[in-house]
Amino acid sequence: MAVQATRSKEEMNGFRPSVARAVAGVLDRSLFAKTVPLAAAIISENKLISRYRRDLEKSKEILSADRISAIAPHPDKSLASQGKKCLLLNPAVKPTAPETWGTVLKEGVDKSELEVIPYNLNLDYEYFSALDVLSVVLPPELHDEIPSGFNIAGHVAHLNLREAYLPYKNLIGEIIVDKNPHIRTVINKVDNVGSESEFRTFAYEVLAGPDDLDVEVVCDVMAGIGPFAVPAGKRGVFVWANDMNPESYRYLQEAIQRNKVGTYVRPFNEDGRTFIHNAADSVYAASQAGDHALIQTKVRRHLRGAAGTADETPPPQKIPVPPTISHFVMNLPAMAYTFVHHFRGLYAGHEGLFAPNTETKLPLVHVHCFALKSDDEVPLLDICERLTSKLGVKMVPGDAEKPGEVSIHNVRDVAPAKRMWCASFRLPREVAFAARG
């Protein structure tokens, strides 16, 4: 009787990176290259691939590994160039041991529709997730709370590293940038919230990427008292910051005034559902009216012959408000996803402001939410189903820069079986340009 193939931890360890400790804080990506020996089923005719894939999935003989398609080009490059493909099999299936083959494989071979051959699957640094990489570059004593979760504002990831991880902070930042295409800058908070500022603003250090928080206009739909809006304003980011709670709004105004960021940060006290459209209209109106920030550049010093030096104050620089919002941040995890259907018609009648008419992309929406704490795709699919139901457009886990796909990352655990996530997606055209209700 044939042995049914199942995935054991030992077999799937082949898909984990080898230990690759960073030397002197330098990440050597070449150390992550590895070859996983597998078996592959060569299909006699491509039209049979779908049937055999389905049957092998039922018998659990097909490869099931994160971020790897079970359908691969034929290992012979000349045949691959002709479109020939194969199905990668579970590591428990051995090409030279028919006793490890199930009924589907055996019958396919008997019919000459399949051939089971050895297959070398080559993996490299690009394949492994941030958590995979951090788990092998950080020492074992730091594996309990690997800092793979973070908040996002635009292209900026905000970390709050514990002291034990500070010696590896730049390495952590570098890996986060590598593994999150929409992240360009990683910053770490360097003081305790509330200790230096009663309004929960914070100083930061750049761990990776440019010291550039300029994301044009950010709309912070649930801004609270400004923990992200105020620091962003200090870096020259226009922020339309809103909070429905009158008390939070009052402190938000005070934080803006005390930190002298009023030229960039504008406070609002509205229901977030109506604020989404109002913000888009308000930003566009401000741009059309020529609204701008005035920035005084540094004093220049010039020699004036034998008399020595003289100071010259250049005219202030005008920073115009752009016509569109680049990012919507919705940091209210208990209910933020229920707001997303209010994006419908956000830019109705303004198609000319965006690609392909200009280089401007539709806004990225960052939705914080709660879901199951799990390392498989269950919480990701759950989040996408919720977004799909609210947007009316099919959304699936993937790359936020691709239409219909959502980048989802772990922010932090909030209970033994509950985790906070941040789901980011580019607003679909059919939503942004729909007629307003």
Q: Token pair for residue 87?
A: 């199905």
331 marked ligand binding residue: yes
Contact 292, 217 (CB under 8 A): no
Contact 362, 347 (CB under 8 A): yes
Q: Token pair for residue 411?
A: 């922010």
Q: Could you write out the DSSP letters of every residue in 270-285?
A: S-HHHHHHHHHHHHHH
Using alpha carbons, select from 415, 406, 333, 396 the residue that is nearest to residue 370: 333
Q: Exposed (0-12), middle (13-18) or buried (19+): which is 291, by Cβ within 10 Å?
A: middle
271 marked ligand binding residue: yes
243 marked ligand binding residue: yes
13 marked ligand binding residue: no
Q: Token pair for residue 262?
A: 């009023």
Using alpha carbons, select from 365, 339, 352 the residue that is nearest to residue 423: 365
How far apart (Å, rounded) are the C-alpha atoms in residues 178 and 201? 28
How far apart (Å, rounded) are the C-alpha atoms in residues 114 and 107? 9
Residue 81 backbone dihedrals phi, psi, to 5 degrees: -65, -20
Q: In this structure, how many other beta carbons lie within 10 angstroms of the beta carbon of residue 398?
A: 16
Q: Exposed (0-12), middle (13-18) or buried (19+): which is 183, by Cβ within 10 Å?
A: buried
Binding-site residue numbers for S-adenosyl-L-methionine are: 243-244, 271-272, 331
Binding-site residue ranges: 243-244, 271-272, 331
